[in-house]
């Protein structure tokens, strides 16, 4: 019980845990949606969700120390984190642009 109290007292760990759970639900629903869609904008939206979850997983394994130091870094900034942080937003931008361009808008 003491370990659970210590786990829940660290706000960053609790936030990562909540992100992992909610992200897992989003990824599960995204995979289900992927099997039912053939629209380009939906595929990029789903990819954005998957890349966002990859970012959360990367932050989690880094937080718990499974990855020591930066694998690829420039001036103490992780290239992997920068790419994972921005590629999901890039996929969402492409998804919205394709949706606006589509006939359903």
CA dihedral (22, 80, 11, 91) positive or negative: negative
59 closest CA partner among 26, 6, 18, 25? 18
Report the distance separating Cα 80 and Cα 12, nearest Å.
Answer: 20
Domain ranges, residue 45 = 2-101
Q: pTM of the predicted model, to two decimals? A: 0.80
Question: What are 1-51's pLDDT values in tens digits?
Answer: 566 666 666 788 888 889 999 999 999 998 898 888 888 899 999 999 999
Question: How many structural domains comprise the chain?
Answer: 1
The residue behind tokens 């629903």 is 29
The residue behind tokens 């992100």 is 19
């Amino acid at each position: 019980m003491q370990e659970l109290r210590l786990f829940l007292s660290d706000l960053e760990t609790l936030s990562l845990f909540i992100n992992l759970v909610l992200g897992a639900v989003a990824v599960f629903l995204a995979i289900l949606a992927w099997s039912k869609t053939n629209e380009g904008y939906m595929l990029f939206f789903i990819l954005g969700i998957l890349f966002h979850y990859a970012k959360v997983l990367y932050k989690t394994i880094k937080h718990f120390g499974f990855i020591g130091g930066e694998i690829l870094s420039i001036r103490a900034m992780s290239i992997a984190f920068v790419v994972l942080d921005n590629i999901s937003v890039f996929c969402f931008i492409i998804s919205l642009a394709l949706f606006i361009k589509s006939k359903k808008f």
